């Protein structure tokens, strides 16, 4: 299945084309709620979404890239877009949540933060109580025994990291991952 890119500065995240369409729709629904309150503040984002949707419909599979640089030209716009992304996370299922988080990550991430995220994952896997970087709630490790893709999630759904199965398996083998409650 074709994947397109979400780009901002030096960061890139890839998203399945079909899910990109769903993600854009949910972001638009959140924007639509806000835009009536303050049309002047979010006018640029309406324009941006219009462009992204046109590209999504008309560009070939795998080339429906969302370029954020030309739109997020100042910190205010970046903050406004993040606010809309957060709103769009309300009432979405986990699959879509993960896709919309890609927009957040591509904006948030710099090389230093990337290391911090890795560090968070490793500490959670070792059984430490690690607060969510967004809301402060204690993050949860969701293992393969739950029937879901192994991941680290925030109970408030604002932090989600899918883990590679192999990495978890290896941590198990090496005895580095402690189960919840064991010390």
Stretch of 13-21, 37-45, 112-120, 148-156 contacting Zn ion, by CB under 5 A: 148-156
Name every residue whose Cβ is closer than 8 Å to that of residue 108 and which is 6 or more positions away in sequence.
none
**Site for Zn ion (CB under 5 A): which residue of 158, 169, 171, 178?**
158
Nearer to Zn ion, 72 or 161 (CB): 161
Q: How far is the CB of 143 from Zn ion (least distance, A)?
A: 19
Q: Exposed, middle or buried, 119 (CB in 10 Å: 0-12/13-18/19+)?
A: exposed
Q: Are strands 66-67 and 3-8 parallel, antiparallel or unpaired?
A: parallel
Q: How far is the CB of 159 from Zn ion (least distance, A)?
A: 5
What are the φ and ψ backbone dihedral angles of 136, each rounded to 5 degrees?
Answer: 90, -10
Per-residue contact track with Zn ion, 101 to 140, x per CB under 5 A?
-------------------------------x-xx-x---
**Site for Zn ion (CB under 5 A): which residue of 6, 89, 100, 154?**
154
Stretch of 19-27, 96-104, 155-163, 174-182 contacting Zn ion, by CB under 5 A: 155-163
The dihedral through the CA atoms of 164, 177, 96, 50 has a sign that is negative
Nearer to Zn ion, 122 or 134 (CB): 134
How far apart (Å, rounded) are the C-alpha atoms in residues 23 and 176? Answer: 36
How far apart (Å, rounded) are the C-alpha atoms in residues 164 and 72? Answer: 31
Residue with the two structure tokens 């690690």: 130
Stretch of 27-35, 55-63, 93-101, 147-155 contacting Zn ion, by CB under 5 A: 147-155
Provide the greatest CA pair distance for the chain: 56
Stretch of 4-12, 42-50, 99-107, 150-158 contacting Zn ion, by CB under 5 A: 150-158
Give contact residues for Zn ion (rule: CB under 5 A): 132, 134-135, 137, 154, 156, 158-159
């Amino acid at each position: 299945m074709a994947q397109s890119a979400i780009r901002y500065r030096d960061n890139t995240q890839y998203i399945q084309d079909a899910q990109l369409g769903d993600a854009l729709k949910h972001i638009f629904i959140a924007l639509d709620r806000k835009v009536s309150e303050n049309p002047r503040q979010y006018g640029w984002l309406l324009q941006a979404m219009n462009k992204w949707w046109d590209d999504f419909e008309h560009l070939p599979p795998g080339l429906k890239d969302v370029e954020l640089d030309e739109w997020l030209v100042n910190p205010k716009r970046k903050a406004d877009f993040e606010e809309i992304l957060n709103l769009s996370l309300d009432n979405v299922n986990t699959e879509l949540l993960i896709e919309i988080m890609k927009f957040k990550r591509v904006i948030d991430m710099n090389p230093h933060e990337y290391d911090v995220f890795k560090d968070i994952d490793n500490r959670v896997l070792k059984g430490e109580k690690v607060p969510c970087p967004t809301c402060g709630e204690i993050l949860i490790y969701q293992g393969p025994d739950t029937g879901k893709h192994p991941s680290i999630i925030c109970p408030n759904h604002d932090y989600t990291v899918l883990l590679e199965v192999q990495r978890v398996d290896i941590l198990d083998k090496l005895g580095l991952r402690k189960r919840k409650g064991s010390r």
